[in-house]
Every structure is written in C-alpha cells, then in structure tokens.
Amino acid sequence: MASMIDAYRDAFSEDFAYLKFVLFAIPVYFVFHFYSIGQIAMFNTFAPILGILIFGLFTQAIYNVKANRKEVLTINPIEFIFGLIKTLVVMVPNLLIFGTIGYYVTRYNFPVQGVPHFNDIFHIIVWFICGSIILTSYLAFAKFQSIKQGFNYKVIFESCADVFLQLLFMIPQLAIVNLLLVGPVAYLYFFFKVPFEHWTFAAYCSCVFVINISVLGNYFAQISTEHVKGDDSEYQFNTSFGDVTGDSVDVNFQRNVMNTIVNNIKKDNNFNNKK
C-alpha cells in the first residue's frame, strides 16, 4: 500500500532538497503575492502559466521516483520541457473527452421522490468517476512517460476504481502532513501576533506548497506501481531523454557490459598464458 510517510521522508532526503524547495517556491510566492495585493490581472496572467509548469514538474517527479532516481524534483530544463510537452499531449485530449462526458451527463436531472439531494449526489458521483479515469490515464502515462499508455483505456478502466480508493485514503493523510508543516509555524505567528499576511509566512507556505508537489509525486508513483494494472515490460520500448545519464539504467544493458568486461579479461589472460 502506498505510504505517505515514505513519500514525506524521501521528499527531504533527496540531493539539494531544501535548495529546490526555495528555488521552486519563488514563482509560487509571487503569484500568491499578486493575488494578496489585489493585482488580479497579473494573477490571472501568471497563475495559469505557473499551473502548467507545476504540472510538468509533478510529472517528472512521478517518473523520477518510478525510475529509482536519486532526485524527485528535477532541475534539468530539458527533461522538464520534454515531460511537460508529453503531459499536455496526453492530458488535453483526456480532459476534453471525459470532461465533456461529465458535463453532458450532469445536465440531466432525475426527480426521485423521497431521496433529498439525489441529483447533487448523482453529479458528485459522475464527476468522481470521470476524475478517477482522467487521473488513472495520467498515472498510466507518468509512471514511465509513455504517451501510448496514457490512452490504454483497457488498463485505465480496470485500474480507475483502485486509484479512486487510494485517492480517498490520500486526502486525510495529506491534510495531516500539511498540518504538521504549517500548524506549528502558524501557531507561532498567532502567539506573537504577527499577521498571517506577513511576507515571511507567505514565503514559508510557498515552500510547503513545493514540498507537497514532491510528496504527492512520490505517493502517486507508488500508486501507479501498485494499482495501475499492466506489467512494466509494456513500457520497455519507451525511452526518456534522461535515461542515458540518469540512475535508471536498463538491467540487461548492465549485464551485457559486465559480460563484455569479463570476456575481455578472459581473452587477455588466455593471450598471456599462450605467451
């Protein structure tokens, strides 16, 4: 079962973790600052851009965890751009398809006598189903950044119920993590009567937001491994730009290299013995 504790621990144990938290928190802070001072035009301009960039960072985080790399949050711009492009290629069609289905299904109302708020409950269920399908398609793609698997609807429909249940378990766990991160600091601000609008508190919450990306990337990588059906061999022909220099090296490649080295040593020994 996916572990939020493991995800939380790995978020802080990667190389240069705190530096990455501060680095990625800078644009988050400025977008929040635009909103807090009432510059809604600037907020509306940069918030969608930030959202897309965070989406790409989140995708790469899932891939890095699944590929057993030492880093979760990437600072490699080439990997980031390639991951973002592939994410948009997969997610835009799925969002359009299942968003449209959810929209037209929830337009209908079914009057049911004796069941208050039946239609509201029905609409919530419909959107949860569509959302779980979209999320599962995203995880099927992100685990090895295989665009084809993002449209493998056989696997997606078989796995979406398990992913939905894991999502329900994740929400209270994530709330507890954020309570532990923000609660003590918020209490100190309250105790010393420092307003929560102070820039230092906003900067700290921006860092916590980035920590959440790392934690959720790790947690979703665990979900994709355990609950998105299909063997990893289905992804063996998928190649990421970073695989050549990354920590995730194909086992067969390692074995071939070792066999080549051993054979060369044997040849050298035989040659020396003949001398």
Domain locations along the chain: 4-233
Residue with tokens 């979900």: 223
Give the Cα separation of 6 and 22 in Å (integer).
Answer: 22
Closest Cα partner for 127 from 163, 98, 162?
Answer: 98
pLDDT tens string 37-95: 889 999 999 999 999 889 889 999 999 998 888 888 988 888 888 889 999 999 999 99
Contact 36, 203 (CB under 8 A): no
In the predicted model, residues of the chain with pLDDT beneath 50 are 236-255, 257, 271
Taking the CA atoms of residue 114, residue 115, residue 119 and residue 124 in that order, the dihedral angle to the nearest 10 degrees is 180
Residue 206, SS3 per DSSP? helix
pLDDT at 197: 86
Burial class (CB in 10 A: 0-12, 13-18, 19+), 144: buried
Give just the sign of the alpha carbon dihedral 184, 185, 190, 193.
positive
d(CA 65, CA 71): 8
